[in-house]
Amino acid sequence: MSIIERYNAAKASIARAAKDCGRDPASVTLICVTKTFPADDVAPLLEAGHRVFGENRVQEALSKWPALREKYPDIELHLIGPLQSNKTREAVELFDVIESVDREKIAKALSEEIARTGKHPRLFVQVNTGAEPQKAGVLPENADSFLAACRDAYGLKIEGLMCVPPLDQQASPHFALLADIAARNGIAELSMGMSSDFELAIQLGATYVRVGSAIMGERDYPA
């Protein structure tokens, strides 16, 4: 299958999963995750009218997206990978949504950069729902206080939560936990679900699903 055939299949699966649980398919946005793939592989998706994309590395995104944006100014680019504080400037410049806010140092750097530039990407907080030591994200038990600090100490409006469940576990408890944290903090957007489990994430309330390999094909190297 081509990228476009897989894209159309993913769109159809998303719509079906939404309808199956009584949701409006338009309430779920597909983020095509294009990390490791060159601009040539992204082009057919842009030509087909898709505009929402995800990258997990600032440096890689910088090498790919500014040129594509000249041709397609209405692209919506999501940063879904960890953000280092020394990359905040570039991240605010390039991304429309930063999904990986997860510590005060980043919150502070973002608030300074937003004040300096007046450019305000939408912000999501990443939650490490499985409390995995190697994984980014605020721990679930610290999520409420971190969200309060983002709002009160740094003046940041957090619109969504994001998680990447442990690879070797059922995803549903992690999705449910993320939805819980969002509900009790009055947060509307939930970025959860990847190629292997986006239907499940939609059942549990995902408003954004991040789909890479099911559309782009297998990646040559893990990213």
Ligand X SMILES: *Cc1c(COP(=O)(O)O)cnc(C)c1O
User: Looking only at residues 182 through 211 of this chain, which bind ligand X when binding is defined by CB under 6 A?
Assistant: 194-195, 210-211
Q: Judged by CB under 6 A, does residue 58 bind ligand X? A: no
Paired strand residues for 97: 78, 122
CB 130 within 8 A of CB 170: no
Q: Judged by CB under 6 A, does residue 36 bind ligand X? A: no
Residue 126 CB, shortest distance to ligand X, in Å, is 8
> Cα–chain-centroid distance for residue 37?
17
**Closer CB to ligand X, 62 or 214, in the complex:** 214
Nearest to 173 by CA among 140, 146, 144: 140
| Secondary structure string (H, E, C) spanning 12-25 | HHHHHHHHHCCCCH
Paired strand residues for 122: 97
Q: Judged by CB under 6 A, does residue 129 bind ligand X? A: no
Residue 14 CB, shortest distance to ligand X, in Å, is 13
Contacting residues for 135 by C-beta, under 8 A, at least 6 apart: 128, 164
User: Looking only at residues 60 through 99 of this chain, which bind ligand X when binding is defined by CB under 6 A?
Assistant: 80-81
**Closer CB to ligand X, 154 or 208, in the complex:** 208
Binding mask 144-183 for ligand X (x = CB under 6 A): --------------------x-------------------
Residue nearest to ligand X (CB): 212
